[in-house]
């Protein structure tokens, strides 16, 4: 049959395909992300070697042996934890994040440790060998078993992997890779998917772990890492404000571990360093004896983290009052203001209100409600929340404080960092267990009014 050329519209954010163009993607709801791609049947062979067909024979599940998977330790405790204890041999890991967040940096840094025992092939389609060398020297990475290749043709890359047989492969970034048989430009959804598939087949057939970098990109011109999530074994995202020095590494998918873990890093002159105690870092430089600030204890994965929440309430200079929130959901803030007005008699209607989560953190957990409400009331009434007091709890529409999960863990973390008083949901008091050597008093509250009175 003759090769048929047809054109498809593909969303660069989620990979949704359609024969028709849409302004708004029906798959993910993003605007202006549908791009036209030409689809043709791919001629010629793919470069991955043909495997034996043994895997096609059904086997009773009782006869499948499960020896522990072999893992390589990266030398970075935080990264290993997010990966579930190291990189599993033969796995494909996708490392996503905004451009400039530090993906290339962390890859080079883990080479310093991995390169002691393993032969690593680092493929870059973005930087020249000289640039990589300069960065590596700055980061103190200098090992003989790290091989650098600057190439964008994915077939050449796959062939090199097959001839060199390294112990680990790193590809920076998948959006620069190009498969010649496809006519679409590098970075398009088809290219990115096909290149990943080729790397997947090559690395799985040789049992080589492979880390792929994918840029998160909001303008829709190039395909984001989301379109690859279903292909790879683990998906890690680097998050954080580029202006702020710290970065959070989060697992979104992991076939070999939990997705609850996060890793916290700080970007400095010598690359990324691990932050073992993120709460301490987030609370450093906190103002003392001023109104409008309260400490919350959200959970980041399975770890409690303390974060300072600031509220500012001022007279409105304009006709309608302004509301602004950074790091906290705007609609949730509006809801909290409405509850404070209707249920507690704190009036904000002719006042501007601002909420800010310090450190560029984004908090979406309802357990931070109480701290946000207290920060706002504190600013409105000019009441100081003492510096050793922390609050957590979800606020309902009747002004009640609702129970949250993992209360014991939150209180323990607060006590460990020297907080002496914790305002928390009354319904969480039952079953609260705190280590005996920690000294913290807990106050269970049922409504926001109780919480303000407890200050
Ligand atoms: P990079 O790893 O190149 O980002 P990505 O690969 O995710 O696009 O990180 C680049 C940023 O990190 C850049 O803004 C400079 C900063 N940086 C430092 O602050 N210190 C360092 O030692 C390095 C290597 C980078
Ligand atoms: Mg880079």
Atom of ligand 1 nearest to the CA of 105: 2
* pLDDT computed for residue 30 by the predictor: 85
Convert the pLDDT of each residue in 225-247 to its tens digit.
888 888 999 999 888 776 777 88
Q: Which CATH number fits domain 71-276: 3.40.50.300, 3.40.1190.10, 3.30.565.10, 3.40.50.920?
A: 3.40.50.300
The pTM score is 0.77
* pLDDT computed for residue 332 by the predictor: 95
Verify whether ligand 1 is closer than 6 Å to residue 224 (CB atom): no
Q: Specify which of 282-291, 350-359, 370-379 reaches the highest per-range mean pLDDT.
A: 370-379
Q: Is the peptide bond before 92 cis (omega within 30 degrees of 0)?
A: no
Return the number of other C-beta atoms located less than 10 Å from residue 230's C-beta: 10
* pLDDT computed for residue 1 by the predictor: 46
Q: Is CATH 3.30.230.10 what the domain over 281-453 is classified as, yes or no?
A: yes
Verify whether ligand 1 is closer than 6 Å to residue 15 (CB atom): no
pLDDT higher than 80, residue 105: yes
Residue closest by Cα to atom 25 of ligand 1: 271
* pLDDT computed for residue 51 by the predictor: 52
* pLDDT computed for residue 228 by the predictor: 86
Verify whether ligand 1 is closer than 6 Å to residue 270 (CB atom): yes
Which range is least confidently modeled, 115-124, 154-163, 277-286, 378-387? 277-286
| Number of the ligand closest to the Cα of 268 | 1
* pLDDT computed for residue 10 by the predictor: 86
Verify whether ligand 1 is closer than 6 Å to residue 101 (CB atom): yes
Atom of ligand 1 nearest to the CA of 267: 19
- Among 100, 211, 241, 272, which residue has the most ligand 1 atoms within 8 Å of its CB, making it the best to mutate? 100
Verify whether ligand 1 is closer than 6 Å to residue 105 (CB atom): yes
pLDDT higher than 50, residue 342: yes
Verify whether ligand 1 is closer than 6 Å to residue 271 (CB atom): yes
Verify whether ligand 1 is closer than 6 Å to residue 393 (CB atom): no
Give 47's pLDDT tier (boundaries 50, 70, 90). very low
pLDDT higher than 90, residue 85: no
pLDDT higher than 90, residue 364: no
CA separation for the pair 94, 196 (Å, rounded)? 10
Q: Can you name the residues that pair with 402 across neighbouring β-strands?
A: 394
3-state secondary structure the chain: CCCCCEEEEEECCCCCEECCCCCECCCCCCECCEEEEEECCCCCCCCCCCCCHHHHCCCCHHHCCCCCCCEECCCCHHHHHHHCCCEECCCEEEEEECCCCCHHHHHHHHHHHHCCCCCEEEEECCCCHHHHHHHHHHCCCCCCCEEEEECCEHHHHHHHHHHHCCCEEEEECHHHCECCCCCCCCCCHHHHHHHHHHHHHHHHHHCCCEEEEEECCCCCCCCCHHHHCCCCCEEEEEECCCCCCEEEEEEEEECCCCCCCEEEEEEECCEEEECCCHHHHHHCCCCCCCECEEEECCEECCEECCEEEEEEEEECCCCCCCEEEECECHHHHHHHHHHHHHHHCCCCCCEEEEEEECCCCCECCHHHHHHHHHHHHHHHHCCECCCCEEECCEECCCCEEECCCCHHHHHHHHHHCCCCEEEEEHHHCCCCCCCCCCCCEEEEECEHHHHHHCC
| Gyration radius from the chain CA atoms | 26
pLDDT higher than 70, residue 52: no
Q: Which two tokens stand for residue 109?
A: 């840094």
Verify whether ligand 1 is closer than 6 Å to residue 38 (CB atom): no
Convert the pLDDT of each residue in 219-230 to its tens digit.
656 677 888 888
Convert the pLDDT of each residue in 250-306 to its tens digit.
888 888 887 777 888 988 888 888 888 888 888 888 888 899 999 999 988 778 889
* pLDDT computed for residue 226 by the predictor: 82
Convert the pLDDT of each residue in 151-189 to its tens digit.
999 999 999 999 999 999 999 989 999 999 888 888 888
Domain range annotation of the chain: 5-40, 71-276, 281-453
* pLDDT computed for residue 173 by the predictor: 86
Atom of ligand 1 nearest to the CA of 270: 22
Verify whether ligand 1 is closer than 6 Å to residue 266 (CB atom): no
Ligand 2 centroid to residue 336 C-alpha, Å: 40
Mean pLDDT of all residues in the chain? 87
Verify whether ligand 1 is closer than 6 Å to residue 100 (CB atom): yes
The arithmetic mean of pLDDT across residues 407-423, rounded, is 91
Q: What are phi and psi of 361, to 5 degrees?
A: -75, 150
Ligand 1 centroid to residue 14 C-alpha, Å: 27
Ligand 1 centroid to residue 271 C-alpha, Å: 7
| Number of the ligand closest to the Cα of 225 | 1
The arithmetic mean of pLDDT across residues 400-418, rounded, is 92
* pLDDT computed for residue 28 by the predictor: 85
């Amino acid at each position: 049959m003759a090769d048929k050329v047809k054109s498809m519209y593909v969303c660069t954010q989620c990979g949704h395909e359609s024969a028709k163009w849409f302004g708004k993607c029906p798959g993910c709801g993003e605007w202006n992300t549908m791009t036209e791609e030409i689809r043709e049947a791919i001629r010629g062979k793919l470069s991955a070697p043909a495997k034996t067909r043994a895997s096609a024979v059904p086997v009773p599940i009782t006869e499948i042996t499960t020896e522990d998977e072999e893992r390589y330790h990266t030398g970075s405790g935080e990264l290993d934890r997010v990966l579930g204890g190291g990189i599993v041999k033969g796995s494909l890991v996708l490392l996503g994040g905004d451009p400039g967040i530090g993906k290339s940096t962390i890859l080079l840094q883990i080479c310093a440790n991995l390169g002691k025992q393993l032969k690593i092939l680092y493929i870059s389609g973005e930087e020249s060998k000289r640039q990589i060398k300069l960065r590596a020297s700055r980061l103190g990475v200098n090992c003989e078993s790290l091989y650098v290749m600057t190439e964008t043709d994915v077939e050449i890359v796959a062939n090199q992997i097959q001839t060199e047989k390294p112990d680990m492969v790193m590809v920076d970034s998948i959006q620069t890779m190009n498969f010649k048989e496809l006519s679409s430009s590098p970075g398009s959804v088809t290219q990115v998917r096909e290149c990943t598939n080729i790397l997947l087949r090559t690395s799985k057939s040789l049992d080589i772990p492979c880390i792929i970098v994918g840029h998160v990109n909001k303008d829709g011109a190039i395909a984001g890492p989301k379109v690859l999530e279903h292909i790879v074994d683990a998906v890690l995202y680097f998050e954080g404000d580029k202006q702020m020095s710290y970065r959070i590494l989060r697992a979104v998918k992991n076939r070999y571990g939990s997705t609850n873990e996060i890793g916290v890093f700080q970007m400095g002159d010598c690359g990324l360093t691990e932050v073992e105690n993120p709460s301490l870092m987030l609370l450093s430089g906190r103002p003392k004896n001023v109104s409008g600030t309260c400490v919350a204890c959200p959970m980041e994965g399975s770890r409690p983290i303390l974060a300072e929440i600031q509220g500012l309430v001022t007279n409105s200079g304009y006709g309608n009052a302004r509301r602004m929130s950074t790091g906290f959901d705007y609609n949730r803030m509006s809801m909290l203001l409405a509850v404070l007005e209707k249920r507690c008699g704190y009036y904000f209607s002719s006042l501007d209100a601002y909420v800010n989560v310090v450190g560029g953190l984004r908090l979406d957990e309802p357990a931070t409600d109480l701290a946000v409400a207290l920060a706002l009331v504190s600013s409105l009434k000019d009441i100081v929340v003492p510096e050793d007091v922390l609050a957590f709890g979800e606020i309902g529409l009747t002004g009640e404080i609702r129970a949250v999960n993992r209360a014991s863990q939150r209180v323990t973390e607060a006590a460990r960092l020297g907080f002496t008083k914790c305002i928390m949901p009354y319904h969480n008091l039952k079953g609260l267990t705190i280590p005996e050597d920690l000294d913290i008093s807990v106050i269970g509250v049922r409504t926001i009014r109780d919480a303000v009175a407890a200050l």
